[in-house]
Amino acid sequence: MRKRHFFSEFFISAAVMTMASPALSYEVSAVTGGGSIEGVIVYRGTVPTQKIIPTKDVEVCGDPREEPLIRVGANQAVESAVVYLVEVASGKDWPAAGKTPELDNEKCRFVPEVQVIAPGPLDVVNSDPMLHNTHGYYGKRTAFNLALPNQGQRIPTELPRPGTVRIDCDAHGWMEGWIYVVDNPYYAVTGADGKFSITDIPPGDYKLVAVQPFIGPMEFSVSVEGGKATKLDIELMKK
């Protein structure tokens, strides 16, 4: 079974162009009197679902089931939505370097399903006792295409430029994940409560993008004042 892609090609192209703008090169600099943007992301519509029907490896992949295309919790809060600022010239440092970001194939799911990383290395891992073929795309262009036949296998790869990278598995057609490669450290991913907070932002006017794979990107103009929190609650709506 081949899945339908949650984004239309239009949304993929729009997100790639938004995140890969060549106009600015981010520079780390001291931030004095920075502000923040915080809020909650909600979805108030009917939650769409997708029928998952594993046709092989069912002992690992599980039984047929309905899965939501938007993870909505209490008070319509949206989990695993991404918010980020674009065209930021300079500001705070990136998070301290630690473990290389990972994309794991675990029980025929991508873990994490949604993540945000800086341009650079990515480890693709197979925790399952069978073949996964993990395939990443910038739009229609292949970013990586990796066969992982062995449990515990780890293959290093690279995502060298900002953009939206859609992930699927050529061996298990329902698997899908998303990596947002950003060119500055002003981003957040919502938890189960739908909340986000982007801190230590130099005062000024910005464009903020909120994106959930089924909904696609939504853009907002936001002003940040020094020492203050700008409140921005977002209701996702299908275009």
What class is the 9-235 domain? mainly beta
What residue type is assigned to position 110 of the chain? F
Is 187 in a helix, a strand, or coil?
strand
Cβ contact 202:230 at 8 Å:
no
How are the residues of the chain apportioned to helix, strand and coil, as percentages rounded to the nearest 5?
A: 10, 50, 45
What residue type is assigned to position 182 of the chain? V
β-strands 141-148, 229-231 pairing: unpaired
Instruction: For CA atoms 103, 238, 3, 54, give the dihedral sign.
Output: positive
Q: Map out the domains of the chain as residue ranges.
A: 9-235
Q: Report phi then psi at 58, rounded to 5.
A: -65, -25
> Over its length of 239 residues, how does the chain's per-residue pLDDT go in tens digits?
444 444 434 344 444 444 444 446 899 999 999 999 999 999 999 999 999 999 899 999 999 999 999 999 999 999 999 999 999 999 999 998 889 999 999 999 999 999 999 999 999 999 999 999 999 999 999 999 999 999 999 999 999 999 999 999 999 999 999 999 999 999 999 999 999 999 999 999 999 999 999 999 999 999 999 999 999 999 999 87
Is 97 in a helix, a strand, or coil?
coil
How much is the pLDDT for 7?
A: 44
- Closest C-alpha among 156, 199, 161, 196 to residue 180: 161
How much is the pLDDT for 82?
A: 98
